Structure 1
């Protein structure tokens, strides 16, 4: 049996020379998907979502975006189990759509997560001010301590990254479970006062006070909250057994979304009225936001030190997001180098299987991005955030388009759908639905500004600046390299996680296809 990447000496544990190590176990992949889903979007911004759309409106928005994420993940899972690579969707886009699209997705995703590391550095420093005065230790010192911590985890090995995410995620999962239990008890009147029941769903304006407009506004918040679930695709390239572990993790995404987000939103809407002024927090990470987090408000009804507990949990969330961002950005840049789209030096691997040059570049960009927040008015920093924020939705849209073309090319080349290691649900409706909803969210970035009596052009530009940046990288590469859409019969399935015998059963060999043409 020949091994992965066509190396006959590959045994599944040690990587071929110059390749990433396959050190992520099934439990790591499962927790990475949780780590990508549970974050400040749930712990902080969920309150603002209910205030804007009401208890039922917020539920509708999160269910719709959650279902879209589920279909997007099944699309990614089908490709990642057949062709597991750290390049994930940018590699798939280059193979099945257009090399220029793959380059644009890769560059935007790399910058997205590198800038996210800078955002989490700043957030971690703010969270520590809950306990330590900035007079005792400046915020920038904390920020660089956390940067060092994130780099150290990623330098050690991919197993260290996996273990870090496993325990970060375990803390978040435990918090959500405790919150759900306490919330049910509070609503039933067992703790914290009188029984609430569905009373807050019947107050004036509830359960959908602002109609479809309010739900549309929450689409954006919900979408940002779910960003990071696609990290499974990148981690597949370093999974011990992607054919088995990736589908297992993908299948659990839907239930996690249902349990952790939908049920949490439902309980917050039961216990707290949508017009509670504390829910109007914009979801930012600071001392005031944590004090009025809907999780804090509900938990305080059972025990008073909830704000300190939630502060510690949100600190864990921020570190997890920064750790994931460092990993995702590093692997994306590495695969861009392996695909020949950026200088080859970024594709160098050390003895532990870590792309150190790419890791150093990610750390440098994160540092530069963070420093822009310390000088002047922070306008450059805000623009970087806006360029970054839209990249996740563009990546999801890219996954949907890539999977649609992947399946068509697979069938065109004689592939047997039933022989795929993992088959996505509801094709082609799933990827089409994901693409349409992503498009709605991307186009709705400036919704809140458009609804103002006098929209400001500068604010609208800030909302959409990420889109022209993506288009510039796409068409710039396309014009320079004169790339074209890849014909279905030329789409590349050569790097597949199947032995040669199975591969011939899934996709006929080139010789077989040529013979079929001659016979016909």
Structure 2
């Protein structure tokens, strides 16, 4: 009996070991190259390789919607809005953010139309390569990749700085190492790891902004422990505007930076199971984010904080909670604990940007490799659908965060930041122009707008307006670099404010001369590679059924679907 029992126990232990080995083997096997990546031949075109990218498709609708709503809410709103208020006054802030909001509305809808139709990896550079010029696609891809490469170590250092607010007696390098490990591990869980983390980060940021708006209205109406009714007195004294037209232009530039990351919802389309169903709703959410989380929140800030407050310019870094107009407003109302809450929110926002930087950079590098515009090894995608080589390169670049203990920290990071300073402007402008060329290609090749599963609400006119606003913001940045609102311009300051411009031009010209590329004619643009609809007739039937079902619903439901 004992022998039987021992045999049974041994069998169970062997079965347990086999299961364990099987699980470990499966884990180890997931890091090998994906079968589809192995099947991609060297003779294929870049567009075909990008279209066949074996990236994981685990993103769900709730992930995309939260990324769209809260993805770019960060220090640009929570802290740097204080600088914009000081430079231009509350009226300039509202005007600038409204105009930039209109521009982003057109950009995201243009991107949505492109990404729903052709949900390919590295959408921005891929669309520029297909519809504008391969040389411009090369420049835009590396411009976007460099933006996130630079942002990753900067955000690691920023996260360590936020903890100094609580006088934590731990060296900054320790926190840099902890945050670096945390973010890299999240991204090693694949797109679902990134998406779940971003969902949680964005949820916290969205709730925080809504709470501030509610509390801010109460304070303005005189319901705070300290201070009485405020109303619009700060719009009269010290006033609604500061530094005139130059102040407004300076606010335009900062407002554009505050929206950086909005385009990530389009980048994620390649890793969505059904972008035709989920992406349109996520794209439409941008309108509400712009309206509620920026315009309303900054309206409340402009009512509660005068633009001549010395504390707005007292920031020791771009993550200093003490210089946040949100904190200044709450402290003025007698809410003494709020700075600690805001500092925690800023920490979460910084980690969110760091998480997005690894995701955005790795996907862009992988797509550049497939297009033949980056070293081929960066296109390595494993069986779990992760661009491992690109994640590794981004992670290694993040180690620059350890420069925070060096005396050269300030100059190093100032120049790194200058590389990414105007990257978003180029990216957004290129999306608008690619959309204009995409519509021209549709006409030239005999397609109808009804063939599209999702159409940009502002259309080509909106993309033209968006492109014009981006060009205007670029010009405003160059003007304010040479003629700043405070102090005098130096060669170093001008270069740091405009370095992205010569870098992009250099990338474009060098690739164009090297590969002798030409502008893509509308009749020759690739409208096929990467589309997931196999049978055009079945696709058309499905679209017709969906539109008929929507038309049969009530007015309120149709209005809801139009906006959301």
| Structure 1 residues 131 and 455: alpha-carbon distance in aligned structure 2, compared to 1, 3 A threshold | closer
Q: Which residue of 2 aligns with 1:12?
A: none
Greater Cα shift, 430-439 or 314-323: 430-439
Task: State yes or no: 1:256 paired with 2:285.
Answer: no
Deviation of residue 404 (structure 1)? 0.7
Task: State yes or no: 1:299 paired with 2:330.
Answer: yes
Deviations 1:375-418 (A, max 9, x none): 53643432221011211111111111111101100111111102
Paired with 1:341 and 1:407, the residues of 2 have a C-alpha distance of: 25
Paired with 1:375 and 1:275, the residues of 2 have a C-alpha distance of: 33
Deviation of residue 17 (structure 1)? 8.7
Q: Which residue of 2 aligns with 1:215?
A: 248
Q: Which residue of 2 aligns with 1:312?
A: 344
Q: Which residue of 1 aligns with 2:258?
A: 225
Q: Which residue of 1 aligns with 2:548?
A: none
Aligned runs of 1:58-207 on 2, under 5 Å?
58-133=93-168, 136-192=169-225, 193-204=227-238, 206-207=239-240
Q: Which residue of 2 aligns with 1:486?
A: 520
Deviations 1:164-188 (A, max 9, x none): 0000001001110110000000001
Q: Which residue of 2 aligns with 1:290?
A: 321
Task: State yes or no: 1:267 paired with 2:300.
Answer: yes
Is the Cα contact below 8 Å between 2:315 and 2:323 reproduced in 1? no
Of 458, 483, 498, 1:451 maps to 483
Q: TM-score, normalised by structure 2?
A: 0.83
Paired with 1:372 and 1:296, the residues of 2 have a C-alpha distance of: 26
Is the Cα contact below 8 Å between 1:127 and 1:311 reproduced in 2? yes
Q: Which residue of 1 aligns with 2:310?
A: 277
Deviation of residue 157 (structure 1)? 2.0
Which 5+ residue runs of structure 1 have no aligned equivalent? 8-15, 507-520
Aligned length: 489
Deviations 1:221-280 (A, max 9, x none): 100000100001110111121111111011110111110010011001111222222223
Paired with 1:469 and 1:226, the residues of 2 have a C-alpha distance of: 22
Paired with 2:516 and 2:488, the residues of 1 have a C-alpha distance of: 43
Q: Which runs of 4+ in 1 moved over 4 A?
A: 502-506
Is the Cα contact below 8 Å between 2:128 and 2:136 reproduced in 1? yes
Paired with 2:408 and 2:323, the residues of 1 have a C-alpha distance of: 30
Task: State yes or no: 1:32 paired with 2:32.
Answer: no
Which structure has the bigger radius of gyration? 2
Is the Cα contact below 8 Å between 1:33 and 1:228 reproduced in 2? no
Root-mean-square deviation over aligned CA pairs: 2.2
Is the Cα contact below 8 Å between 1:126 and 1:285 reproduced in 2? no
| Structure 1 residues 124 and 88: alpha-carbon distance in aligned structure 2, compared to 1, 3 A threshold | same
Deviations 1:433-482 (A, max 9, x none): 11111112222324444325753222212222211111111111111111
Paired with 1:164 and 1:362, the residues of 2 have a C-alpha distance of: 18
| Structure 1 residues 438 and 284: alpha-carbon distance in aligned structure 2, compared to 1, 3 A threshold | farther
- What is the SS of the residue equivalent to 1:497? coil
